[in-house]
Amino acid sequence: MQNPDDLLRARELELGEPVTPRVGSYALDEQDLLSAELTVDAVAGPSGGDVVSHGGMGRRILGVFVENKLAVVGVVLIVFFVLFCYVGPLVYHTNQTDAAAALNEPFNAPPGQGHPLGTDASGFDILGRLMYGGQVSLLVGFAAAAIASIFGALYGAISGFFGTWVDSFMMRVVDAFLSIPVLFLAIVLATVFRPSLTVFIFVIAFVSWLIPARLIRGEALSLRQREYVQAVRVMGGSRTRIVGRHIIPNSIGTIIVNATFNIADAILLLAALGFIGLGVPSPQTDWGSMLSNGVSYATDGYWWEIYPAGLCIVLVVVAFNFIGDALRDSLEVRLQTR
């Protein structure tokens, strides 16, 4: 597991602010942004550290995967699941969309004869359903995280760069949304907008853009004080240019790290919504909805309707967290030592 020394080192570099352990779940994001906000003044000051040469971002990211074994495990898992969900159905043909045809199959059949992982209550093949539901989970996770990160980063950069009342107002908006517990916000949105798959992506993006916005706003607050940003200003560079060419690119480490965690959180959130029965509409499915359906038969011992879907969720979420942790160690901490 994670080396405790890394944690300590990371904390020292964060200048006295406690580092937040961040594996699994959407637990502690608030702490991240708390420290991001409190360290702003300290980070902005000049530091006479050693001269360290860094490769480009690509090389640094590559470096992470060479030195961090958990990150390698994470990448292998993600590659496996992407292949499983998107290439798998090309090899392993099953009917996952025609509910009427599925009625001809045995219901809740145990693994065996033609169905390696059995069938569910509607007669759908579980192994094929894992692939099909996984496509939804991965797609929603990636798309929602991408939208949330891009919008959140822009919002935060603008807020932090403009400062004054614009910043106060924009951040109170974020505060207001953040104070609504995530799952409640998601349930309210999912109920009011009766989501299709596309709407789902936006619902989850809507609850996920707040953390990146606050993080990047913290970065922007410190970046706008830097000499090179001042210099651009003096030379008459426009605000759009400063935000687009200087603030966003200089916060890219934070954005990427946060986006990785966001994917994990989005998949988890979709699974949670699916589990409580507010997932994507049938016959589409996702891993959370599959788990939920399986749980209805918990007393009957249909283990094949519970464990595989649960395992998929945990593995994918853990994999993204491994990658995020490694990226954070590499990008964020080293960017700060610059």
Contact set with another protein (CB under 8 A): 1-2, 4, 7-8, 11, 16, 18-21, 23-28, 30-31, 34, 172-173, 175-185, 187-188, 190-192, 268, 271-272, 275-278, 288, 291-292, 295, 298-299, 301, 306, 310, 313-314, 317-318, 321
Query: How near is the Cβ of 91 to another protein at its closest, in Å?
Result: 28
Nearer CB in complex with another protein: 76/298: 298
Query: How near is the Cβ of 29 to another protein at its closest, in Å?
Result: 9
Nearer CB in complex with another protein: 102/264: 264
Nearer CB in complex with another protein: 89/310: 310
Nearer CB in complex with another protein: 22/115: 22
Query: How near is the Cβ of 245 to another protein at its closest, in Å?
Result: 30
Query: How near is the Cβ of 226 to another protein at its closest, in Å?
Result: 21
At 32, which helix (H) or strand (E)?
Answer: helix 29-38
Residue type at 295 in one-letter notation: V
CB 179 within 8 A of CB 233: no
Neighbours of 167 (CB within 10 A): 18
CB 65 within 8 A of CB 72: yes
Query: How near is the Cβ of 194 to another protein at its closest, in Å?
Result: 8
Nearer CB in complex with another protein: 207/220: 207
Query: How near is the Cβ of 136 to another protein at its closest, in Å?
Result: 17
CB 108 within 8 A of CB 118: yes
Neighbours of 61 (CB within 10 A): 18
Two tokens, residue 11: 């904390």
Query: How near is the Cβ of 190 to another protein at its closest, in Å?
Result: 7
Nearer CB in complex with another protein: 250/321: 321
* Cα gap 212→156, rounded to integer Å: 7
Nearer CB in complex with another protein: 43/232: 43
| Positions of E strands within 118-274 | none
Which residue in 247, 332, 323, 266 sits closest to 32, CA to CA?
A: 332
Question: Going by C-beta distance under 8 Å and a sequence separation of 6 or more, which residues neighbour residue 3?
Answer: none
Residue type at 236 in one-letter notation: G
